[in-house]
């Protein structure tokens, strides 16, 4: 879904994100991996242009980050959750609980994504 400022101005979803091509993410994990890929590309110098991919998404990467930030500010997640999401998101894979060294990361990863799921669903980012 578009940012809050865009919703306040129009009162509805803007024309750029309406239509049959808009596809919400199937899970919070998919939304997070997409967000991290976009943020890494931005950090590496790519220019982000909304709705130019093969699939139009109902949000921008910053919208997912804002949801995560609001959970942190509400103390629903800790800084360690955000660090785990960033670290594994940059690797573009989830931690594997089969490896003892990744088991703790996997627990924090799941806690964070489970708590992120509801706000993303409420905003229409996850379907």
pLDDT (tens digit, 9 = 90+) per residue, 31-74?
A: 999 999 999 998 888 776 656 667 788 899 999 999 999 999 99
108: pLDDT strictly greater than 50:
yes
pTM: 0.79
Q: Which two tokens stand for residue 40?
A: 């890494």
Which residues sit opposite 56 in a β-bridge?
22
Chain-centre distance of CA 3, in angstroms?
13
Secondary structure of residue 126 in the 3-state scheme: strand
Higher pLDDT, 16 or 31: 31
pLDDT band at 81 (very low <50, low <70, confident <90, very high): very high
Question: Residue 18 pLDDT more than 60?
Answer: no
């Amino acid at each position: 879904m578009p940012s809050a400022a865009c919703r306040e101005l129009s009162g509805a979803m803007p024309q750029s994100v309406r239509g049959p091509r808009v596809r919400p993410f199937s899970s919070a994990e998919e939304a997070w991996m997409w967000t991290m890929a976009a943020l890494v590309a931005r950090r590496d110098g790519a220019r982000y242009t909304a709705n130019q991919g093969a699939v139009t998404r109902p949000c921008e990467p910053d919208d997912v980050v804002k949801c995560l930030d609001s959970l942190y500010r509400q103390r629903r997640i800790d800084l360690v959750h955000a660090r785990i999401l960033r670290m594994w998101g940059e690797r573009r894979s989830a931690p594997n609980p089969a490896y003892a060294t990744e088991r703790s990361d996997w627990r924090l990863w799941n806690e964070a994504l489970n708590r992120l799921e509801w706000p993303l669903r409420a905003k229409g980012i996850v379907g």
